[in-house]
Amino acid sequence: QRMLGKREGVHTLSLILSHDLMPASAPDYVRAGRAARALRRFQDANGFFRQANAQAPTDVAVNVAWGELFLEAHERGEAARSFQAALRTNAEHPEALIGLARTVSEDNPPLARKLAAQVLTLNPTAALVWEYCDGEHDVEAIIDEIAGVFPSAPRPDVDVRTMLDSFLQTGLIEPRPAN
């Protein structure tokens, strides 16, 4: 939906959901669930994720996507169960760790910080990007700082922007106000 206008994006997602061939595999159901969630059709999304989970109960992508839906619907208990199921399969899965951190952030901030720190230790570049998310560095300054740390590596523009987008989407940082 980022590349299309909102109207075109909604139309495209509606086509995905109304396709005559119903999803058959867990990845198909996850895609349909994500499309339904993007259209704010939460009951449909829940049904698709339930079908995916019935086919692949230990699939990390299924459980993370379902957990994100529950989190958006303020169903923290269900979200926690989904993220924990993902973590039973892959204890170091970053999206599951961040999802669980977001789930417990209000009730248990120390645990949320511990989970977020675990993600940052899994990815040293992410830890550096996080370090520069201090309100003083804009995106270009962060890219320059990371490039300075790894001068022989390719310029990290895409990686840094992807990491910042991930931080934004998981609620770890907020967009910088326009001047």
0.75 cut: is pTM over it?
Answer: no
How high is the mean pLDDT of the chain?
A: 84
Spatial distance between the Cα atoms of 82 and 69, rounded to a whole number of angstroms: 10
- pLDDT of 19 reads 55
Non-local CB neighbours of 160 within 8 Å, separated by 6+ positions? 129, 139, 142, 143, 146
pLDDT in tens, 105-121: 888 888 888 888 887 77
Q: Provide the pLDDT confidence category of residue 6 given band limits of 50, 70 and 90.
A: low
User: For 77-107, how does the pLDDT look when each residue is reduced to its tens digit (9 = 90+)?
Assistant: 999 999 999 999 999 888 899 899 989 988 8
Q: How far is CA 84 from the centre of its chain?
A: 15
pLDDT tens string 153-169: 888 888 888 888 877 76
Of 74-78, 93-97, 171-175, the poorest mean pLDDT is in 171-175
